[in-house]
Amino acid sequence: MDYKNLYDIFICGGPEHFDMLRQLLPKLHPFGRLHLASITLTKAQLKELSRCCDVVHKPQHDPDGYLNFNLFCIRDLHALAEAPFFIKLDADVILQDYWIIHVDEWIAKYPDGVLWGIKEGVARINIELTGPLVRKKLGSDIRVINGRKVIGGFCVGRTDFFKQHHQLMQIIHELCYCFENGRRHRPSPHPELWPESNELDHEWFDLTGDYRDLQRIGNEDTLRSLVLHAAGAADRMFVLDSKGAIRVPHGPGFGHPRNWR
């Protein structure tokens, strides 16, 4: 199978993930076009790790490592993917040598899927984006109550779906992350999507529900799942058993990006 033209694989890391990445990258490289996002890796670490990668990215969205990680996954990852499917995983994921067999089987079993993962979020998505500005930018209000979420420690996505809904994702992200109490408090990462300079003087929106992580850190896996709900594709989200071939540690352990401080 021509894996390099089937999967784009994305993984991010900093110095605290170096040993994990050194073990993990050789297991990933044969099975796709492997992208390493260097969040805070040193030059020496990056030089060694890049031998097992096809592409190295150096995102600089924010000096905070964890914010930089989330913003790369939200703003860049789906746009950079070119293969039919992308795989996104954290540096602390544990893979058996036969892990790719399960990914292939998931896609074959659920060919209409657009997001596959091995963990479902315990906390459900409860978010409401409403008001004239939301309707102007997105066409309708967004209300997701008790919505399912695929955890992003290891997930697989259909690239064309996320490219088709890239603008939807960016606008939702901006409304949640760059505004507070209806007022902008961070600059737009996509000013081309906001051409009206006086737009906020006369149009408002409300953000309610469990949105604090979206506003504080962006929260890439919550946003990715929220986009599926907003696009009417929640039934194309699958949480599947890898039978131990792919394991995501419980909670934010040493290697989890949440500890990038």
Whether residue 244 sits in one domain with residue 208: no
83 & 140 share domain: no
**Domain match, 29 and 91 both:** yes
pTM of the model: 0.93
Same domain, 172 and 103: no
Q: Kindly report, residue by residue over 184-241, the tens digit of the pLDDT.
A: 889 999 998 887 655 555 678 999 999 999 999 999 999 999 999 999 999 999 999 9
- Domain enclosing residue 221, as ranges: 125-148+160-233
Q: Has residue 227 been placed in a domain?
A: yes
Whether the predicted pLDDT of 255 surpasses 50: no
Q: Does one domain contain both 82 and 139?
A: no
Higher-pLDDT residue of 182, 82 = 82
Measured in whole angstroms, the distance separating CA 225 from the mean position of its chain's CA atoms is: 9
pLDDT band at 1 (very low <50, low <70, confident <90, very high): confident
Domain membership of residue 259 (yes or no) is no
**Is residue 153, in this structure, part of any structural domain at all?**
no
Q: Are residues 130 and 80 part of one domain?
A: no
- Separation between Cα atoms, residue 18 and residue 20, nearest integer Å: 5
pLDDT in tens, 20-32: 999 999 999 999 9
The CA-atom distances, in angstroms, between 11 and each of 64, 187, 193, 217 are 17, 27, 28, 18
Place of tokens 């050194």: 22
- Do the domain assignments include residue 154? no
Co-location of 31 and 47 in the same domain? yes
Same domain, 11 and 114: yes
For the record, the structure tokens of 147 come out as 């919505």
Query: What is the per-residue pLDDT for 185?
Result: 87
φ, ψ for residue 148, nearest 5 deg: -75, 155
User: Which tokens in the block code for residue 210?
Assistant: 């469990």
Please tell me the total count of domains within the chain.
2
How confident is the model at residue 200, as a pLDDT?
Answer: 58
Residue 260 lies in a domain: no
